[in-house]
Every structure is written in structure tokens, then in C-alpha cells.
Amino acid sequence: MKKRFVIANWKMYIESPEEAKKFISILKRKAASYEGVDAWIAPPFTILPALKGMKFGGQAVSANTGAYTGEVSADMLKEAGASFVIVGHSERRAHSTGSGQAAGDTNEDVHAQLAAAAGAGLSTVLCVGESERMPDGAHFTKIAEQLSSALDGAQSLASKLVVAYEPVWAIGKTAKDAMQPDEVEETVIFIRKTLADILGRKDALKVPILYGGSVEPENAAKLIADGGVNGFLVGHASADIDSFVEILKACRR
């Protein structure tokens, strides 16, 4: 796969349309020359319309319509001009705790959201990743479950699918705490193989696999060179225009 993707997940870091517009105008100027690297932006819902002219999308989507307070549906995102949506981000998933399951999206919810988003014609960025690495490799089982339940019966959606591997323990730290490229590569191989089992080898090869978790200008070049990924899903460093441009630059071929 030649093309690389760098997706900015702004979370709630960029708060106003003015700030977003300023960011985008600098981005367009600085990053125009990075051929082969697609920059996508996932802003907070309230500033989606400020990003016209960029490839932008939602950070989350509801599988429902109607009486769901505070939710946004796939059709609403599409209407606002979004072309993709992130589903299954670990900050929205339910995590097991010592005393049970904390509130949040289950694998079944993620499946329904992915189907709703794809049904509305949106590309989907499916996040998977373990909360912790287990010595017996049990984290791979968790990743396989996340993939197979999200994509169950959704094989036809492969052409608009991006998978982002985000180990929860590596999110929101600094480059020196991020996952090392060899571990990323090992997991990406596992994800590609699991996708081949679900989607068939030919379609699995077309799905971009990104890494997310403390990607910063300091580690981006090494991760893209040795991590076996097709790009990144970037959190905190994507809200700083200089850092984001440096990460895009690292992804040039």
C-alpha cells in the first residue's frame, strides 16, 4: 500500500472554530507538498462545519436515531460534511474493572456503530487495542475479539475501512513511553492476519493499519520506518500545528 494516512484526533484539545480554521489554513500551506500522505481531521462535533475543504470526520457516532440525548447519528455527520468517523476509541469503550464492566461502548455497540456509519456512506476508523500487555500473549486474543465482533457480517465494508491499533496503556504519554516499533510491527502482522481471516486475504491487504498512542515528532519517523504501519492516529500532538506537520513530514516517502 503506497498511501499513508495521518489522522488527527483532536479530542477536546481544539475548542473553537476560529482556532480550527487557523490550524487548517497553516496546515494547507505547509503540508501541500507531502505527496502520498493524507491528513484527516477528527474535530469535536461543534466545529465540524468549520473544516470545509479538508477531509474531516467525527470522533464518535451513535448507531441510533431519535430519542438519544447528546448523541449524533451517522446521517447527521454526513449532512455536516463528514466523510469518516472513528469508532471503538478506547476513551469511549467499556473496560472491565475489578468489580465488573465500566460504562461505555461494548464490542456489540461498536459493531452497530460501524454498520450505521458505513450504511450512511462514511469511512470508518475502527480502533482496537489492549489495556495491558499480558505475558502469555492474551492481549492478542482481546484484539482478535474486537476485530471479529466489529466486523462480523460487515465484510463488504472493507473498502472503506481503516484499522487503528491503539494500545490503551500507551495513550496520552510521551514519545519515550510509546510502544516500540518492533512491538508495533508484531501486532500489526497479527492484525493483518486476523483481518485476512475475517475479510479474505485480498481485501485485508487493502485495509490501512495505523498506530496510535503517544505519537510525537520524536518517534514518528522510527515508527513509520520500522513499525509496519500505514500511518498514525494522533491525539495530543495533532493539536499543535508544528508537531502535526512534523509527523506528516516523517510519513513522506
Residue 147 CA to residue 162 CA, distance in Å, equals: 12
Q: Does 235 bind ligand 13P (CB under 6 A)?
A: yes
Q: Does 9 bind ligand 13P (CB under 6 A)?
A: yes
Q: Does 39 bind ligand 13P (CB under 6 A)?
A: no
Q: How many helices (H) and strands (E) does the chain have?
A: 8, 10
Give me the least distance between CB of 155 and ligand 13P, in Å please: 25
Q: Which region, judged by CB under 6 A, interacts with ligand 13P, from 23-31, 99-107, 154-162, 166-174?
A: 166-174
Residue 205 CA to residue 5 CA, distance in Å, equals: 15
Q: Does 214 bind ligand 13P (CB under 6 A)?
A: yes
Catalytic site residue from 139, 166, 216, 236: 166
- Buried b / exposed e over 134-171, threshold 16 CB at 10 Å, is eeeeebbebbbebbebbbeebeebbeebbbbbbbbbbb
Count of residues interacting with ligand 13P (CB under 6 A): 14
Residue 205 CA to residue 198 CA, distance in Å, equals: 12
Q: Binding residue for ligand 13P (CB under 6 A) from 129, 167, 181, 213?
A: 213
Question: Which chain residues interact with ligand 13P by CB under 6 A?
Answer: 9, 89, 166, 171-172, 212-215, 233-237
Residues belonging to the active site: 89, 166
